[in-house]
Every structure is written in structure tokens, then in C-alpha cells.
A and B are shown apart, each in its own frame.
Chain A
């Protein structure tokens, strides 16, 4: 006859065994063995390319993805090596990163913070990505940067021009190679003073969202510093496609200069409207009326067509630059895809290489080691001349280009001409500059996760 009575001792024993059994699997999990999030263990390392593939910035996203694929090819030793040959740091060998073959996963940010974070999270949680890069909007960049900080991976920002990314929303795990609104303003002001004089009345039309605000603030501050007067600053809805009702009051205001703090489709439409209204043929206060577009991109210039002729703006990089790095990049990009790269492609390509190089120099994929390797890192040969990754805010400081719509373009890619390469000293600011979140903004400390 079998007894099934439970004794106290028996129960304790069973409980202990069952408890150990439940706890056992935790010992063998990947988490407990790793020193940081997604430590690459095999012969390969995964990078996450999170770009807008649908939505308003899909064109930029597609170009970014091309650049990333090119970067991976070069890192793995394929192709002609591109900027790896001109890069001042020689740590990269063309054998992947730290001998591990570079693999990548892609995602679609849809230019929405939620979708971008979901996509980045899946790269981190599912695909084991060690670094996330990309994006084509400041809202997305700030959101994904915060996510990477929490998760303990590195974020190399793509196209994001708002001051906040490395200003008040800066994070220790996040880095930006692209320039920002402040730099646009600082670079433009002297050129504008030369071309149009120091006695002008400016009228701002500003896209009603965060990037518009920081750009308006930056351009206002730098033009007022050289003597310009700001007559009015009007916010326009982001969804606006016809700006004629905003253009009409400009002429009555007594302003002789119009600043369009617009980007993408907004800028294409507002500039077209302004030109159609004949603003550029007008004379106000005895001066020719002028229009300025603080942030230019080739894709926008293409959209605005002949209307951009002679209009000043700033840009991070342009394919007609004649330094060795730019030439090498344009050559390998052009060979592979048949057309020159955009500034979005350039900045993301450089970011991918800079990350890989930082890992090589640090000798580890640990985010904190990478942060240390990138902070205060000076390099050259990636276009834009000598560049510094500043330690205080993880912003790259380099020459900024002031460009002008070309009067007689040779091809559909040759729409902008470089007017001046503004030296880096002119666009440098203090890390606690009021436009950058003031003294309160801080990077926090690096987070390796796990």
C-alpha cells in the first residue's frame, strides 16, 4: 500500500528541488554572462539601420540606407574602401570591426517617434544590434537616442538639425555628426552681411514645430547680432501646402528680406509661392528684396527647381567639395549607385565609419569604451576638414558650408554652388549656450546596459 502523506521535511525537500529547477535556466541565459547589452559573441556583429522608408522623408531614408550598405561593404573589405583610405585614423583594417564581420538589420521609422522606437527596440531585443543609427527628423532622433541610452547601446544620429539633439536632450550614449540650427545661423550671418549689408529688416516664416523654433531662434540671434532687425516671425502650420496667404503680408510689413525656416515639402512650396508673388523683383527700402533658406538639401533644391537660383542657405556637406575624403566618397557612391550622394548619405556613412573606428581604437564593443573613444576625438579626411567630436555634448564641430542656388545648373544634381566654407571657429559655441539648454543640460553617464 503506498502512502501519500505529506511530511514537513518532504515538503521542504520537494520545494527546494522545484525551486532550484525553476531557477536553473537563469544561469544559462545570455544576459547573465554578458558585460553589456548585446555583446557580440560569434564571428559577426550586427548594426541597426533605422531609417524612414515610408513617409515624407523616404527619399532621404533611401539615400541613407544606400550609404550604410556602402559603409558595411567598405568595413568588410569590399569595394574601393571609400573614405577609409582618406580617414586620418588608420585603425580600420577592412576586416570588419575587431575582426568580426559586419552584418546589419534595417527598419522603417516612418518618421514617427513611436514607430522608430518600436523598430529600434526590435533591433536591440530581437536582432541583437549593438549600435543603432539613422533617422531623418529631430523628434525621431531625440526619441531613439533616449531609448538607446536606456537600453545601453550606442546611437549615431543621422539627419537631425534641431539644437535639442545635442542640446537640452543630449545623452551620453548618443552622438551627432550633422550640424545644427545654431551653426547654420552662425555660418550664414557673415555671408549675408557681405552680400546684403548689415542694415536689413527680416521677416521670418517658421514651420510650427520644434525644429522650426530652434532654427528661427538661431538665425534671429545671429542676424540681429550683425545689425539686422527682425520685423516679424510668423508660424505656419506644418501641413500647409499653399503659403500665399502668408506671403502677402510680408510686403506690407516693410521687410526687405524673407527668411524661410521651412524644410522639405514646406520649403519647396513656400519658396515657390514667394517667387511667384514676385518678391524677388521687388524693391523695398531702396534695396532688392531677398529670400534666405537656412537649411538646404539637394533633394529640396531639386523640388523647388529654378526658384532656388541665387538663394543662400547652409548645408552640412556637398558632393562638389574637392577635399580627398569627399572625392573618394563621391567616387565610390557614384560607382555603386550611378549618382552623387546627398548630405544625408554622407553624414550617415561617416557616422557608421566613426563608430567602427571608435570600437577598433577602444578594443571593445562596450558602449562606455566607445563613448570614451569618441569623446574629444579629432579626425580629418571625412569631408568638412578637421573635425572634433566634442566631449561635453557629443556634437561634431567642423566647417559649415554656405551655398547658393546655382544660376546655370549643368545637371539635375548640380543645383547648389558652394559660396563659402565657414571655418569651424565661427560656428563653435559653449556647451552650456542658452540655445542648447543652458547649464541644466547634461549628458548623464554612459549606460552599458545589462
Chain B
């Protein structure tokens, strides 16, 4: 169905169900309980981040997972997409659709320029070139292009902005909308002690994520995708057969840049501001981490990786000493203090440490990322399938 094989279609349907039911899945604990206050992730901002960075990682995976070209500068396209989107909102219309389209277009053009130059080299030289371009973009946005990018303070929609197509009252601060629907409109469903939030912005972002995911499946399964895998496997051999790999890699680079631009445009659509930090090299590194953590070259992996990292950044980093003391309050004082002392370095400001440990564990024990972990668990508990069966559903076998 939809031009997909049965297994891929099943995977797509699973993702559709998961994204649509995310408010339930991410709020497993009662809202007022200690666990709920800490671990519930089903609030609009974080859910939006999950799917937006999911898009970013899916796009990155098309380049990295298929061709093996490791770009260290993809945050630059995210940033360009954001700036294009916010200028569209400031100047033309507050509707998010044109803004997102502009984000994709500008990121695509910029990716074409960067890719054209960077792809002349491969391996580490390619990575360093993209890194250099990204840092250059960051420096430009931070200081030199301050009139366009707002410099350190970034860009927001201000009361003095008068988009051409939006009728705003004087002094009114425009808000991002989809044909009149505010991105922040939420519908809250209370069931007993549980509270589930359905946010319009999240569902718009999720809609784009599903389209991106579907497109990614089609690309993975297409002859074009096969060609990209061939590039990863052995480029020299391809040249000997008379194939020029560069148009294919450049196309993959631009496509992944446009995915990043889409993510950047969506970030602005959900939260109308853009700043240079989202182009900083650590932001580029983050998407690499997401892809590797989730599973390079798999369809669902990057989305899982993005979710895992954003969850830790937003949830683990908020656990402070007081919350820990609350958890262990029933224990005797000595043990309570001991446990808090042990755990505290790993949460709050130490969330990077936990992330690092998990990353190490994944790389050492699950080279295929979280996806491989999932498959192993499924194999343990599920029906004992033939080994190759479950694997193909989600993981594209490496070309080597």
C-alpha cells in the first residue's frame, strides 16, 4: 500500500499510531504524582521537539546512513531554514506553511552550495569541510550578519513587525498560525488523575514527520537509495564501472539539507524565534549522536535516538537535589544522603554524563543502536522468528 512493501507499510503504520497516541504514551504517570511530575514528557514543547528533531535525524540518516558521508555541519541548514522561516513570518505572512516552505527552499540552496564544495573530498576531509562551513555560518549569524540574524539576541516577531498578508492591530504582536489556528491551542483531557494534552502544533509537526518518514522509506527502497548504498560500499569500484557517484551524493546531501531546513522551519513555526546557537557545532554533533544512538542506516533509529537525547536533555536535566531527597525521604537519613550523593552527579547538570554512559553502552554492546536493542528484546520475548525476518522490517542491511 502507498507504494510500500508489506513490512514497510506495517512499520509506517506503527509510527503513525505511536505519533498520534504520543500524548498518552508520554504521560504514563498520574500528573500530580512524584513520578509524573518528574518523568512525564507529554507536554507540547517536548513532544514537538521529539518529532522535529526526528525529522532532522531522518534527513541526516539519508546522507550518513546510506552514503556513509559523515557531515559535521548539518545544524547550519537547520539554522538557515529557521532564519528563512522567521523572515517569511516577519515580512509576508504569519501562516506557518509558507514559512516552512521557505525554510526548506533556502536550506536546500545553501546545502547545494556547501555540498558542491565539500563533496569534492571524502572521509575525514569531508567532515572537516562541513564542520568549517557550519562554524562559519554560526560566526556570521552571531556577529557579522547581526542586521539580518539579530546576532546573539536572535530574531523574534515584534510588535513593530507588520507582515504584508496579516491584518494586525497596531502594536499587536503577531502569532504563528495555520490558517488562523494558533500553534499553541491545546486540548486537555483529564482521565482520573491522568492528564493528557493534545496540542495543535504538535500534530502539525507530527504530520510533517510522518510525510518525512514516508519519503525516507521510499528513498531507502528506491534505485536511488541502492545507488547511495553502493557509494557507501565502494566508491572506487563504482567509478571503475563508469558511474559518477557525485551527482548521487550531492542529491543525498541536498535532500538531507532540506530535511534539516524543514526541521528548522518547524522549530520557528512552533516557537517563533531563531538564534545562532542552533547552528553551533555541538548542535551538528548532536544529530550525529542521535543517528548513531538510534541506529545508523535504519529507518526508525534516528527518530528513537532524537527522542532519547531530547528526553534526557529536557527531563533528566531538571532533576535537582530537592527532587532526589523527596524520592528517598522514607529511607533513613544516612542512606537517603548516600543515595542522593551517588545519583546526583548523573542528573541535573550531570545529564551529559548519563548520556555519555548510555552512548558508550550502546556503541559497545549494541553496535546497531537502540533499534538493535529492540530487536534483541523482541527476539527474546516474541515468537521465535527466523533471524533475518525481523531485521529486515526495520533495518536495512549494511552494504558491506
A residues sitting closer than 8 Å to B (CB atoms) are 25-26, 28-31, 53-54, 58, 104-108, 112-115, 117-119, 121-122, 125-127, 137-139, 142-143, 146-147, 149-150, 162, 164, 169, 208-211, 213, 235, 237-238, 440, 442, 444-445
Give A105 to B38 CA distance when docked, in angstroms.
10
Residue of A31, A113, A115, A149 touching B154 (CB-CB under 8 A): A113
Known contacts A142-B153, A209-B142; 19 further A-B pairs (Cβ under 8 A): A25-B188, A25-B189, A31-B188, A114-B278, A115-B313, A118-B49, A122-B45, A125-B43, A126-B37, A139-B152, A139-B275, A143-B154, A150-B175, A169-B153, A209-B143, A210-B152, A238-B143, A440-B160, A444-B173
Residue of B37, B173, B273 touching A127 (CB-CB under 8 A): B37
Do residues A29 and B188 form an inter-chain contact, with CB atoms below 8 A? yes
Give A150 to B270 CA distance when docked, in angstroms.
12
Question: Quick one: closest A residue to B49, CB to CB?
Answer: A118
Interface core residue of B152, B171, B186, B189 (most chain A CB under 10 Å): B152
- Does B375 sit within 8 A of A, measured CB to CB? no
Residue of B184, B188, B280, B317 touching A30 (CB-CB under 8 A): B188
Q: Which residues of A contact B189 (CB under 8 A)?
A: 25, 29
Give A18 to B371 CA distance when docked, in angstroms.
40
Q: Which residues of A contact B153 (CB under 8 A)?
A: 138-139, 142-143, 162, 164, 169, 210
Give A106 to B317 CA distance when docked, in angstroms.
9
Enumerate 21 A-B pairs (CB-CB under 8 Å) in ascending A order.
Answer: A26-B188, A28-B190, A54-B352, A107-B318, A108-B348, A114-B277, A114-B278, A118-B314, A119-B317, A121-B271, A125-B43, A126-B43, A126-B46, A138-B152, A139-B153, A142-B154, A143-B153, A210-B151, A235-B143, A237-B139, A238-B142
Give A121 to B277 CA distance when docked, in angstroms.
18
- Please give the distance in Å from A172's CB to the nearest CB on chain B: 10
Give A117 to B156 CA distance when docked, in angstroms.
13
Do residues A442 and B159 form an inter-chain contact, with CB atoms below 8 A? yes
- Does B68 sit within 8 A of A, measured CB to CB? no
Give A119 to B317 CA distance when docked, in angstroms.
9
- Does B40 sit within 8 A of A, measured CB to CB? yes
Do residues B190 and A29 form an inter-chain contact, with CB atoms below 8 A? yes
- Does B354 sit within 8 A of A, measured CB to CB? no
The answer to whether A122 and B143 touch (CB under 8 A), given A31-B188, A164-B153, is no
- Please give the distance in Å from B176's CB to the nearest CB on chain A: 10
Do residues A122 and B318 form an inter-chain contact, with CB atoms below 8 A? yes
The answer to whether A122 and B156 touch (CB under 8 A), given A30-B188, A114-B275, is no
Give A250 to B90 CA distance when docked, in angstroms.
42
Residue of B43, B171, B173 touching A122 (CB-CB under 8 A): B43
- Does B301 sit within 8 A of A, measured CB to CB? no
Q: Which residues of B contact A209 (CB under 8 A)?
A: 142-143, 151-152
Give A262 to B396 CA distance when docked, in angstroms.
51
5 closest A-B pairs by beta carbon, nearest first, are: A53-B349, A121-B45, A113-B275, A139-B152, A208-B143
Q: Which residues of A contact B160 (CB under 8 A)?
A: 440
Question: Quick one: closest A residue to B82, CB to CB?
Answer: A114
- Please give the distance in Å from A449's CB to the nearest CB on chain B: 10
- Does B341 sit within 8 A of A, measured CB to CB? no
Q: Which residues of A contact B351 (CB under 8 A)?
A: 108
Question: Quick one: closest A residue to B320, CB to CB?
Answer: A106
Q: Which residues of A contact B280 (CB under 8 A)?
A: 112
- Please give the distance in Å from B134's CB to the nearest CB on chain A: 14
Give A117 to B143 CA distance when docked, in angstroms.
21
Q: Which residues of B contact A139 (CB under 8 A)?
A: 151-154, 275, 277
- Please give the distance in Å from B154's CB to the nearest CB on chain A: 5
- Please give the distance in Å from A100's CB to the nearest CB on chain B: 16
Give A117 to B317 CA distance when docked, in angstroms.
14
Q: Which residues of A contact B271 (CB under 8 A)?
A: 117, 121, 147
**Interface positions of B from 285 to 319, Cβ below 8 Å from A:** 313-314, 317-318
Give A143 to B318 CA distance when docked, in angstroms.
20
Q: Which residues of B contact A26 (CB under 8 A)?
A: 187-188
Do residues A106 and B277 form an inter-chain contact, with CB atoms below 8 A? no
- Please give the distance in Å from A217's CB to the nearest CB on chain B: 13
Question: Quick one: closest A residue to B348, CB to CB?
Answer: A53
Give A142 to B152 CA distance when docked, in angstroms.
10
Give A209 to B277 CA distance when docked, in angstroms.
13
Give A29 to B190 CA distance when docked, in angstroms.
7
Q: Which residues of B contact A211 (CB under 8 A)?
A: 152
Interface core residue of A113, A114, A147 (most chain B CB under 10 Å): A114
- Please give the distance in Å from A371's CB to the nearest CB on chain B: 16
Give A119 to B49 CA distance when docked, in angstroms.
12
Do residues A113 and B46 form an inter-chain contact, with CB atoms below 8 A? no
Question: Quick one: closest B residue to A209, CB to CB?
Answer: B152
Question: Quick one: closest B residue to A111, CB to CB?
Answer: B277
Give A125 to B44 CA distance when docked, in angstroms.
7
Give A209 to B46 CA distance when docked, in angstroms.
30
Residue of A108, A119, A125, A444 touching B349 (CB-CB under 8 A): A108
Do residues B171 and A444 form an inter-chain contact, with CB atoms below 8 A? yes
The answer to whether A117 and B273 touch (CB under 8 A), given A126-B40, A143-B154, is yes
- Does B222 sit within 8 A of A, measured CB to CB? no
Q: Which residues of A contact B151 (CB under 8 A)?
A: 139, 209-210, 213
Q: Which residues of B contact A108 (CB under 8 A)?
A: 317-318, 348-349, 351
Provide the B160-185 mask, 1 if CB < 8 A to any CB of A, else 0. Answer: 10000000000101010000000010
Q: Which residues of B contact A137 (CB under 8 A)?
A: 152
Give A112 to B283 CA distance when docked, in angstroms.
11
Question: Quick one: closest A residue to B46, CB to CB?
Answer: A122
Do residues A122 and B314 form an inter-chain contact, with CB atoms below 8 A? yes
**Interface positions of B from 49 to 98, Cβ below 8 Å from A:** 49
Give A58 to B153 CA distance when docked, in angstroms.
19
Do residues B190 and A25 form an inter-chain contact, with CB atoms below 8 A? yes
Give A348 to B314 CA distance when docked, in angstroms.
23
Do residues A106 and B318 form an inter-chain contact, with CB atoms below 8 A? yes
- Please give the distance in Å from A71's CB to the nearest CB on chain B: 14
Do residues B275 and A442 form an inter-chain contact, with CB atoms below 8 A? no
- Does B397 sit within 8 A of A, measured CB to CB? no
- Does B244 sit within 8 A of A, measured CB to CB? no
Interface core residue of A112, A113, A138 (most chain B CB under 10 Å): A113
- Does B146 sit within 8 A of A, measured CB to CB? yes
Do residues B152 and A106 form an inter-chain contact, with CB atoms below 8 A? no
Give A150 to B275 CA distance when docked, in angstroms.
17
- Please give the distance in Å from A289's CB to the nearest CB on chain B: 28
- Please give the distance in Å from A239's CB to the nearest CB on chain B: 8
- Please give the distance in Å from B221's CB to the nearest CB on chain A: 34
Question: Quick one: closest A residue to B196, CB to CB?
Answer: A25
Give A211 to B271 CA distance when docked, in angstroms.
24
The answer to whether A143 and B190 touch (CB under 8 A), given A210-B153, A444-B173, is no
